[in-house]
Structures are given as C-alpha cells and as structure tokens.
Chains A and B, each alone.
Chain A
Amino acid sequence: MSVDQATVRRIAHLARIAVRDEEVPHLQEELNAILAFVEELSAVDVSGVEAMTSVIPMRLPLRKDEVTDHAGADVVTGNAPGAEDHFFTVPKVVE
C-alpha cells in the first residue's frame, strides 16, 4: 500500500501536525518508503494466530479508586505555558 498527497495531509491533520505545502512530497516519499518496508508482512501466514496483548503473561492489577498521590494545583499547573488561578489557559474554543 502507498499513500497519496491528500492522504499525507489527512494523516498530518489527524496527528495534529501542521505541514507546509512544500513538505508534502518529501513526507509522502518517506512514508511510502516505510510502508514498502513493512509490506513483506502481508505475506506472513497469521491464520489462527492470536494478536499479542501482553508480552509477559500477567493479570492487570486492580487497586482501590482513591487518591494516592496529590501534589497540589500549584505543582500540576507549574510547568504550563499558560495558566491562571490553577487553570490551564488555551485559545478561545467557544464563541
């Protein structure tokens, strides 16, 4: 399988990565090189094989739903590029 330029733009948008027009042909080439590389997998017989979910057999542990680690709002918002009164600020979403 290979991707066309419209698909490259669609993937970039899904991944929330801005791409400039002049980057698209090169990205298309690179993505197609990787897709060509993984193409050989379509020849592998996987009938009756279960998809791996856990590489080391283990049961996912459960714990009580409770606060175990509370650093406080100062700490939580301390690294934010924009914060006010312990809220993260973002560009206006609703008019």
Chain B
Amino acid sequence: MMSDLTKLSLAEARDAVASKKVSSVELTKAHIDAIEKARGLNAFIVETPEKALDMAKASDARIASGKACPLEGLPLGIKDLYATQGVHMQACSHILDGFKPPYESTVTSQLWRDGAVMLGKLNMDEFAMGSSNETSYYGPVASPWLPPGWDADKGRSALKGDKKGLLVPGGSSGGSSAAVAAHLCLGATATDTGGSIRQPAAFTGTVGIKPTYGRCSRWGVAAFASSLDQAGPIARNVRDCAIMLRSMAGYDPKDSTSVNAPVPDYEKAVGASIKGKKIGIPKEYRIDGMPAEIEALWQQGIEWLRAAGAEIVDISLPHTKTALPAYYIVAPAEASSNLARYDGVRYGLRVPGKDISSMYENTRAEGFGREVRRRIMIGTYVLSAGYYDAYYVRAQKIRTLIKRDFELAYQDGIDAILTPATPSAAFGIGEKGSGDPVEMYLNDVFTVTVNMAGLPGLAVPGGLSASGLPLGLQLIGRPFEEETLFSVAEVIEQAAGRMSLPKAWW
C-alpha cells in the first residue's frame, strides 16, 4: 500500500483502484482521516463517513466482479448547493435549516452512477453569493495556504480563534477549493455564476472549469441566477478536471436549458497539440491598477503558449467594462425571483409572526444573511414597476453586446482567449467588503464576462506571486469547445510545473 493515498491525483487514484493496487475502502479511509484532522479549516460542514465507506465497499465489489465505472471508488466532496438525497443541503444558509432533500441532483447522481464516493458536503458562500466564503452561515473557510510570513503555530492558533488574517480560499466554492488544495478529497463539485469556480481555483493553486451554459444540468442545484449558473469541477490538475467533467456533463430532460449534445471524452484532449491554435489576448483586460505581477503572469502565459506553437493574436472585447455592473443587475434580479420560494412554509426555517405576512418577513429577515438580503433587495428594486426597463432590460441588452464581442472574435478564427483569472492573489479573512460591498464584487472582474456570454472558462495555476501565493490564468473558449480549453490548459500546467500545494500545518 502507498504511503499517503491523499497525495494521489484523481487520475492516479483511478488507475491504482482499477488495477487493485489500492482498494476504494483504503483510499476512502485515508481521506476520512484527513478530513477529521482538517476540521479547523472548516471546508467540510457535513461529513458522511459511513455513507462513504458503504459506497467504497460497493465500489470494491464492482471492481472485484470486473464492472468498474469511470470514477469507480474515488472519494469526492460535494458543494452544499447540490441536493443530496437524505443528506443535509442548505446552500450554507440558515433559511434551509434542517433541510434534507428527498431527491438527488442530476450532476451528483451521475457521479454516483459512475462509481464515485461521497465524503460529505462542502462549505460555500450563502446561496453562492460571495467571493471569499465569508457569507456562509457556517462561518468562513481558511485557505490551506498560510499568509506570507506566517508559521504553522500562528496559523493553528488563528484557526482556533476567529480565523482573521488567514487567507480566504475564494468563493463562492471556497469549501471546494480549500478541500481539494488541502488533499481532503480527490476532486469536488462546485458551481459558477460569476466566477465561483475559477476565482477559488486561482486563489488555492487548483484547476477549475465552468463549462458552457447548458453543458451540465442545473436540476437539483439550488438556483441563484438561473441564466448564469453552471456546475463544474475543481481538482488538482487539468486531467482530473477533464475526468470529472465527463461524468458531470450531459443532457437532462429535467433542465429545459440543458443541451442535448454528446459528451466528449475530455481526457483525450489533455496533452493534444495546440500548434496553430489562435489564442486571443483582449486588451480590455489590462485594467487600471492591476498589479505588475498579474501583468507579468499573463505575459508569461502568452510566452508559454507561443512556445507550444500557438499563434498569439491581439483582440478587442470592447464591452468588457460593462459586464460587472450589468451582472450586478441581472444576477440579483434573478436571485430575488429564485429566492422568493424561501418563505417558511414548505421547508426550512420558520420564524413566527403576528400574521402570515409578518411570518414571511421575519423568516426571511432571520434566515438570510446580510449579503443575500442585500442582493434580494437590489433585485427587487431593479425589477420593480418603473425601473424594469431602465435597469433590467438595459442590462440584458448589454449582455447581448458582451456576447457579440466574443462572437466576433471567434468568427475571426480565435480558438481560445487567455486572461488573468483574478486581479490579485488571495486576501485575508475579514479584509474586504465590510464597508462597501462593491469592493468584494471587483474580484469577479475577469470571470463574470464569461457567465454573461454563456461560454466555457477554465482557471489554471500560472505561478506564484512575489509573496508566494498562487496566481491563476483564465482560458475562455468557444461554446461547447471545452476540449480546446483542456488542451491549452495542459500546456500551461506543464510549462508552469505542477503547483506544489502546502503541507498540512492545520
């Protein structure tokens, strides 16, 4: 048996389990132990070790009978936004207090169909609204990356306190990115409405892909902004993401926006040549006040792709600047509608009131956290009579313009677009957004355009900042051409060298 099974990549673990070098039960136990020791990070909010071991035993039995599936016996973490039958699912909100869905989300049911093992539910920003995992009802997640200059003792003592000063793992999929980076699971499900897969991946030195809108079913994933939400994986390398996405993607008649197109074997694209691919470099992503190290990282990425035979082309996406403000109209508007269902009647929290209306109002005031209440109110305002055209319809027109920018670039033969993933490295817990909510929103400036245009986007580590923290590059693809992203990302991963993740100090 190998020494530390949690250090295997998902692909390595798959091969070890399939060739019976390691059993799924051994692999699963190693991860259950790692999760127990890492409770201070607060990445898992619910652990399901018994369920995991049952699933692992079933996997080992299937392997013994020669019936192994693509993810057979591989332990994964599941973001709390996904419905998991009979297991806690609260979108990390108080308003879903005690909710155990009687059904399974399509994406997770496909993971179990393919043999994966569930380790538990992962922390996240409440209803996926946040960029730092600090809006969770269950408290913030600490990144496994120590702040510059901190030693393990200082880190451990901060974990016991309010975690202030430790780094955020990004958000909203902060539990997913932290758990993957800390080797608590081989991979994790995540979701991305404005950057919630790519920004956490960039902050933790992991890889994440938001597929094309419609590639993965949204059925059974708590809705935030339905026209922007997409499911996707976070894992420790490009190949692992490709393997997970193949199982997560696919047509689902229960989601009317899911696309009925065959799912390719994404892993085959990993390692494919990118010679002659045209990579667009959009000048509008060179924003004011961008740190020099982000600019240098981007330049380095360009050089790596050129060296691999890609053709680098300067492009223009003129409406880039409008994407973030337009997003902060569209997303809250859809959220205010989607979250209307949480009223204290059919599930979750109920706070009594003197009549039914005050019961609704009290339940929603206590059940939703500050950021969620704020976004529901903004959404309610921009949809209200007299403002609908000025705000919502205008934002949807701008969305058409944003998408057209990309279409024109792709018509000119661009295969993929390279940008930085985030405007900075990870910041500290408690550092941002306490005064002005917009300060936090600016984190998504490079990622949000991709959701507005429905395109696939992938974040891959490009290197470290001057203070030793991971920085990510983003690749944006043509609709349903995730394979190109995997091929190009693999080139970056090979050139940058596999990210060396922090050793356990927690």
Contacts and interface: CB of A to CB of B under 8 A. Distances in A.
B263 interface: no
Contacts of A49: 397-398, 400-401
B360 interface: yes
Contacts of B214: 56, 58
Contact of A63 (B253, B352, B393): B253
Contacts of A88: 345-346
Contacts of A81: 344-345, 347-350
A26 B212 CA distance: 38
B103 interface: yes
B104 interface: no
B403 A16 contact: no
B400 A41 contact: no
Interface of B: 98-103, 212-214, 227, 253, 256-257, 259, 319, 321-322, 325-326, 328-329, 336, 340, 343-350, 352-362, 364-365, 368, 373-374, 376-378, 380-381, 384, 387, 390-391, 393-401, 403, 436-438, 441, 452-454, 479
A11 B395 contact: no
CB-CB nearest 6 A-B residue pairs: A55-B454, A81-B350, A51-B396, A18-B361, A79-B347, A18-B365
Given A33-B437, A93-B356, A17 B361 contact: yes
Nearest to A91: B356
A45 to B, nearest CB: 9
A19 B365 contact: yes
A50 B453 CA distance: 14
Contact of B381 (A31, A42, A79, A82): A31
B299 to A, nearest CB: 29
30 contacts: A12-B377, A13-B361, A15-B380, A16-B340, A17-B373, A18-B362, A31-B374, A31-B377, A35-B378, A38-B329, A39-B325, A44-B319, A44-B401, A46-B394, A52-B397, A52-B399, A52-B400, A54-B257, A56-B212, A56-B213, A56-B259, A61-B253, A75-B102, A80-B345, A80-B346, A81-B350, A90-B356, A91-B352, A91-B353, A91-B354
Nearest to B103: A71
Given A35-B381, A40-B321, 12 more contacts: A3-B381, A14-B384, A30-B436, A31-B381, A44-B394, A44-B401, A49-B397, A51-B393, A56-B213, A60-B256, A81-B345, A90-B356
Given A14-B384, A30-B374, A46 B397 contact: yes
Contacts of A90: 345, 356, 359
B328 A27 contact: no
A32 B436 CA distance: 10
A49 B399 CA distance: 10
Nearest to A83: B346
Q: Is chain A's interface secondary structure helix, strand, loop, or mixed overall?
A: loop
B332 to A, nearest CB: 8
B39 to A, nearest CB: 27
Contacts of B437: 30, 33-34
A25 interface: no
Contacts of B321: 40
A42 B352 CA distance: 42
A55 B374 contact: no
B326 to A, nearest CB: 6
A91 B344 CA distance: 11
Contacts of B345: 80-82, 88, 90
Given A61-B256, A90-B356, A17 B368 contact: yes
Contacts of A31: 374, 377-378, 381
A1 B399 CA distance: 21
Contact of B322 (A11, A15, A44, A80): A44
Nearest to B324: A37
B465 to A, nearest CB: 27
A16 B256 contact: no
A79 B99 CA distance: 6
B374 A27 contact: yes
Given A49-B401, A51-B393, A52-B396, A17 B325 contact: no
Q: Which of A33, A52, A75 has the most CB of B within 10 A?
A: A52
Contacts of B103: 71
